[in-house]
Structure 1
């Protein structure tokens, strides 16, 4: 029998028949298409015919990404064009057409820069020249970038191998005795070409490398009249050397910003943008106080005591970190950039009590802190007033004024640093009994605090009297002289900046969760949390939250993501629910990496809403009053963002991640006795190795750049450059389940009608297909019975700020009970960046790729039709369009979706390109619907058991930005 008579061959050849369609048949097809558009009953059910109208789009379909140019869906196959006919059928599937946000309308920003500031005094020899001289290389030594660096470049090491082995020993912490045993093996040093014979010789070479910030200084501090053996150890670097090391770092040379920039969103300069520190008002005011041409170096200092022992013992370290506001915050957050340096270890020695009163003991601890900080920052007194000449990484010499701009600390340390009475505000003079008030109060200033201390000294004659006088003024009575009294152009109260981690998450949100547990009951809240479905970026608390102890900041953040959705439908008063929503709004808005006057007004509105509704917590009796300092601190966030940029410039979370590298690893490398000198020595070697490595990498990169510049200037050389491609989808290199049987897909992915619906989808792609043909499924069986299936993919959604690359993950896996994520899909061209307009929520059940080769009979293979999409597709089951009542918008502001009724026993579905998936989303089951069996809800099955859901605005900061509507 001829192959064309076989069933599989006949199926394939039906596509070729469309090449012979005459004009009469084409006219019939067009008429059938118009009739299909006029009918109200849809091929693939949607909520209403009105909703369908927005799906009638242009005729260009499925321009898939990540593919070489091939005929795509929407292009004519062999024979006369039938594009419009297929568009009509395909667009009846939600999200079937490739859609993107319309970002053609760009806002032209206005940038004002102070060109008179940061004047260059002179240019020093280039960094490369200085580097060559330091390594005894001739200035004209040929290094074209195409060959490795010469051995002289690794001095004081003999060769590159000599240096690499030393680097390995220091970085990996190889045992000293182990290395000595290795080097004692006869001939090993000669074979490897090593320039040292033991660990002592290696350490000597490492110590002789140019230190990044000078040498560690160890000073002894002692209280007056104390015995000589009762002293305290302070280890620190010279603060000016640390500033010079950051300022002159060649890796940061192209990134440092030296001048103030005012950025506006509009031509009328009505909406100012705040992001980096140089875009804030503090820089502007400080620049006006300095001489013409001066360069501002805003210092960001952070202190945070940390525990060294893990299970027993009380060993602590008290590191002081330093960075510059001239460095972009994205680099400051990367520990590998070394843009934040360790400045000092403050004394943490135990105070001998010796019959001292408790008040005097506390006073000694605080006075010791201020005296240590005074010694560390003493060089800033003159440098901040007169300026110092610093050489930048580009060789430019400027007169720089290092000024303390931001002091980063948690609330207890803020009170310690500013000499404020504990449990009061370190920034304003609000009485402790009025912390819950929304009114404004006079600001604390350095002059006011120092005046109170001076008056106390003059009017009292004993420590007890001094203490009482200061405390009445809500100034700390433990301190006589603060470390900041001589720092120029600094107001320590204003320099204390917001702390998202400790103030918002470990403070405000901690209180809210506790109050919600009291209102709902811990067991009921835990039950709701346990039943939440899994979602990317959200931790699942399988045992609830009430049994957790020593909750970390990360855990608290994850609690905030699910809190509000679990409160909806409970006995919580409506005003209390609205108050929780207002605080969550404030917390998420406070974390924006870019603000303008509009978003700052949103923060103010959220804070006003909190003040309007907060009394409901007192009414239900969960708390007597709200005079809590961390709640009051919310009053100062907007002002601090306007002056110092967004909160990610100075959040303590940025510095806490440095504890491991700068304190814990060094302590573990010591013998735990007199550990701080050992820690400083260990850290110095680590710093020297990393700095030397960065220097070598920088020189090599400069030589490469010069090499390619020479090649590009050569007329005989034409370098080939591959076009830059920007990928927004990341799939596994190989399918997770290659060649998976369709019957197995239907069973494992719980899509019993997958093959039937796939036939309908392929029929719609067929040139010349009509509504009748598709409804009747124009062929009886699929020409394949296996598909390549993926269980997950990653992608970068449309972001609201370009400085961060946000990745999202969607899973559709039958493993471990099955997980099929819910997503927001673009279904119309009316999609906006901050609402649900033009989108629909669906559940991804299968991620698959159509076969490129079809087996027609036996082993004979033929290519699949050219109009089949070659990219990966997703089979999605739809929920209802998102809806929201005015009452819901005022209270929790989350939209609702529900399951659609079955049509002919099938859940409404579509097959869509992956690029139409805007982001993953989390659905929270609604507990306020009647006739539901909540007892059967579990995390793996709740999406199947529940019928009505809330779309969680809080599952991530990105989700909040895109789904939150004012």
Structure 2
């Protein structure tokens, strides 16, 4: 920024060429939201002319934005395939791949999210594989570099996408790049801008050429273009390049290609047999057998939807499967398939995952029984291999049931390319780290933000729309840089001053927002920076568990205030509430009588829900988004209440006891005037829970490998069965969990999502509800 041609003007007028922050914000909004014709119409409005921005036309506005400091320059190169004319000129729109990598490597926003050296992580005596620098390949490359050298692993993604809807047939083929030094949880979020577009590949139509040769010529052109874009990166991989890191320190860097995403599908469709000079041929430390890494989105999620899910529909029946999914209990933050799942033709990656989380317990009972972790260990990799072997050992049962079908009827084979790719996942994990970091989810999103959305703001002319999209993206990138520069100038903060280790634990969502918050924590202008919604950190001001491993939050204003004990018993349909509360007081007080509280005269406040927040099982420093636990009383929509399940932990003597419970009420006694309640009533809200008992463990049910729980009862004075309830402190809760009813041979058609948690007697404790729960249950309930 300080080397820009107008830097001398900005010493005294930092907003130059704009008058002030407000005018720059207006310009940014117009450039990001409107087409050029809409800009012109807006600036000609009488009201706008009276307001008097200093730019009077869209041409002047765009010229001013073009004068802002930019990143790596875009270029246009015209290519020819000798002897093969094309309908339109072959234009490669590109940036130097090495310049983009240097820009990413030096970006101070990522300073607290960077890794520079290979390292071994050991937990419980086992080596863990997560980030690229924890895997074997990083060590192998580092051993071949000069002493003190730094690996800058390049990750490239390539895919083709249509930009017109139904008509026009226009396509784009962008190339994206990022670096493995940036932590994977940051790279995997498109809003963090850790991926950069480096090229738009030409998609030519050759004249008078057989279709087979069209494919070969297009692929040769692709590799020729990649040679141009990454020529300097190959030199840096060979001899190194000195680059500044986010702190301004100069490092001797080498840039191997370690991952190429979306290429396997393209290579299979287009065939590489006619490519005599692949672009990676002279790229040191770059081996296609290693950089063509396993890819989660297509190899796992789409494989699941195209094959195992179809087997389930054939075996269970579409009506029965839809009924089971419709009757799942609704939890906040989890997709509920209220219309069933069998009629869905297309799904997002998130919907694929939500379906997978509940499928196993949902089909259990009707079908006879015959890798997305961010951190792996040697034993978990072995488990992956064993699971795949188990599938192959028993896959004949799918064929025997006639569940594998094609368009022409039943199939008697497993010739599925995506299934074959699963064989390589174990070796890839140890070689390059956890495969989830290579998933194409983020690049699928980039196709929208870098192709489809900006295309809507172009003239849509086939000859020029690519150049127009590049101009749009360049303006957005320039304004994003300039906005950060202005913010820091207003606070007189050099860039590197923001690179500090957090003094307090915070939930990191967007690196730019977190960085700005450290530079100017109290500045109201932070709102002008757009990013994902921040995750609130309840560990700072919430209610903490005794071990500070969990934080809880209830709203300051309860949903119901000053309720009598009888009113709660009637509203929540909990006839034993008063007796259970008395039992809790007796136990918590050590049987000491207290005059501070009376069940007859006391008043209580209640909440319909609370929030639970935990640290990540995989990265203990990372705080997860809070999860809502519902405890709503019966209502017209939920005639039996809307209550979620949790795991509680309590101390009995010298033993720690974990139990499964359903939260029926969240409440807290209110202290009478001039009376101080004892700590066990005043310190935190209390929960009325009803317990389940574990009647089956994963080891005894190998077909599903889940815990089975049943409602727990006690016998009343007249012999009736009454659900076993208890009052416990809020901080006894350790996890929110999902229970899936045991449907048996057929689901009850009179039961829906509003009543399934209350009607069914037995449930599966779904350890697949998310990765955090899966790994927590493996240890907490043993």
Alignment TM class, shorter chain as reference: 0.7 to 0.9
Instruction: Tell whether the 8 Å contact from 1:308 to 1:667 is kept in structure 2 after alignment.
Output: yes
Which structure shows the bigger proportion of residues in strand conformation? 2
> Which residue of 477, 480, 484 maps to 1:687?
477
Please give the TM-score of this superposition, normalised by the length of structure 1. Answer: 0.68
Q: Which residue is 1:33 aligned to?
A: none
Change (3 A) 1:340 1:778: closer
Cα distance in 2 for residues equivalent to 1:319 and 1:289: 32
Partners in 1 of 2:596 and 2:756 — Cα distance? 37
Cross-structure match for 2:706: 894
Alignment of 1:307-318 (within 5 A): 307-310=162-165, 314-318=169-173
Mapping of residues 202-281 of structure 1, within 5 Å: 202-214=61-73, 216-227=74-85, 229-265=87-123, 271-281=126-136
Is 1:783 matched up with 2:597? Answer: no
Equivalent residue number for residue 819 of structure 1:
642
In structure 2, what is the Cα distance between the partners aligned to 1:243 and 1:660?
22
Equivalence for 2:728: 912
Alpha-carbon distance in structure 2 between the residues aligned to 1:601 and 1:366:
38
For 2:44, the equivalent position in structure 1 comes to: 181
Question: Equivalences for 1:707-746 in 2 at 5 Å?
Answer: 725=540, 727=542, 728-740=551-563, 742=565, 745-746=568-569
- For structure 1, the 5+ residue unaligned runs are 1-126, 138-148, 422-475, 576-589, 710-720, 855-860
1:792 to 2:609 alignment: yes
| 1-structure distance, mates of 2:762, 2:111 | 55
1:678 and 2:472 aligned: no
Whole-Å Cα distance in 2 between the matches of residues 778 and 865 of structure 1?
Answer: 7
8 Å Cα contact 2:247-2:496 kept in structure 1? no
Residue 538 of structure 1 aligns with which residue? 334
TM alignment of 1:338-737, pairs within 5 A: 338-348=193-203, 351=205, 354=208, 356-409=209-262, 411-415=264-268, 476-508=272-304, 510-570=306-366, 572-575=367-370, 590-621=371-402, 622=404, 623-673=411-461, 674-698=464-488, 700=491, 702=493, 725=540, 727=542, 728-737=551-560
SS in 1 for 2:256: strand
Shift of 1:821: 0.8
Looking at structure 2, the residues matched to 842 and 669 of structure 1 have their Cα atoms a distance apart, in angstroms, of 54
Matches within 5 A, 1:756-905: 756-762=579-585, 764=587, 768-769=591-592, 781-784=599-602, 786-797=603-614, 799-801=616-618, 802=620, 804-806=622-624, 807-814=626-633, 815=635, 816-817=637-638, 818-828=641-651, 838-853=657-672, 862-864=675-677, 868-881=681-694, 883-884=696-697, 886-888=699-701, 890-904=702-716, 905=720
Aligned partner of residue 735 in structure 1, secondary structure? coil
Map of 1:943 onto structure 2: 757
Does the Cα contact within 8 Å between 2:323 and 2:747 map onto a contact in 1?
A: no
- Which residue of 1 is the match for residue 740 of structure 2? 924
CA deviations 1:604-637 (Å, max 9, x no partner) are 2222222222232233333412232211211211
- Matches of 1:830 and 1:493 in 2, distance apart? 57
The answer to whether the 8 A contact 1:135-1:152 is kept is: no
Q: CA deviation at 1:358?
A: 3.6
Change (3 A) 1:782 1:347: farther
Answer whether contact 2:562 2:670 (CA < 8 A) is retained. no
Which entry has the higher C-alpha Rg, 1 or 2? 1
Stretches of structure 2 that go unaligned for 5 or more consecutive residues are 405-410, 501-521, 523-537, 543-550
User: In the alignment, which of 940, 952, 963 is matched to residue 766 of structure 2?
Assistant: 952
Corresponding residue SS for 2:456:
helix
SS where residue 874 of structure 1 aligns? strand
8 Å contact kept, 1:135–1:155:
no
Q: 1:377 to 1:183 in 2, by over 3 A?
A: farther
Cα separation, 1, equivalents of 2:224 and 2:574: 71
Return the alpha-carbon distance in structure 1 between the equivalents of residues 358 and 590 of structure 2.
48
**Cα contact 2:86–2:207 (8 A) shared by 1:** no
- Per the alignment, residue 529 of structure 2 pairs with none
C-alpha distance after superposition, 1:690-723 (max 9, x if no partner): 11222344553736997999xxxxxxxxxxx9x9
Inter-partner Cα distance in structure 1 for 2:498 and 2:201? 48
CA–CA separation in structure 1 for the residues paired with 2:499 and 2:744: 67
Distance 1:339 1:180 in 2: 34
SS of structure 1 residue aligned to 2:752: coil
Any idea what SS the aligned residue of 2:225 has?
helix
Deviation at 1:603? 1.7
Distance 2:676 2:349 in 1: 55
Question: CA 1:751–1:798 in structure 2 vs 1: closer, same or farther (change >3 Å)?
Answer: farther
Q: Is the 8 A contact 1:151 1:159 kept in 2?
A: no
Name the CA shift for 1:644/1:391 in 2 (closer, same or farther; >3 Å).
Answer: same
Matches of 1:687 and 1:246, distance apart in 2: 13
- Taking structure 2 as the reference length, the TM-score comes to 0.83
Residues 321-341 of structure 1, C-alpha deviations (whole Å, 9 max, x = no match):
100111122322343432211
Counterpart contact for 1:353–1:361, Cα < 8 Å: no
Q: Could you tell me which residue of structure 2 aligns to residue 934 of structure 1? A: 748
- Distance (Å, rounded) in 2 between the aligned partners of 1:236 and 1:186: 38
* Cα deviation, residue 918, structure 1: 1.5
Give per-residue Cα distances to partners, 1:198-247, cap 9 Å, x unaligned: 33222222112221112x22233444334465333332212122112112
The answer as to whether partners of 1:389 and 1:400 remain within 8 angstroms in 2 is: yes
In structure 2, the CA distance between the partners of 1:911 and 1:313, relative to structure 1 (3 Å rule), is farther
Q: C-alpha distance in 2, partners of 1:690/1:808? A: 33
Query: 2:87 and 2:419 mapped to 1: Cα distance?
Result: 45
CA-CA distance at 1:767 after TM superposition: 6.8
> 1:844 Cα deviation (Å)?
0.8
Could you say which residue in structure 1 is the equivalent of 2:515?
none
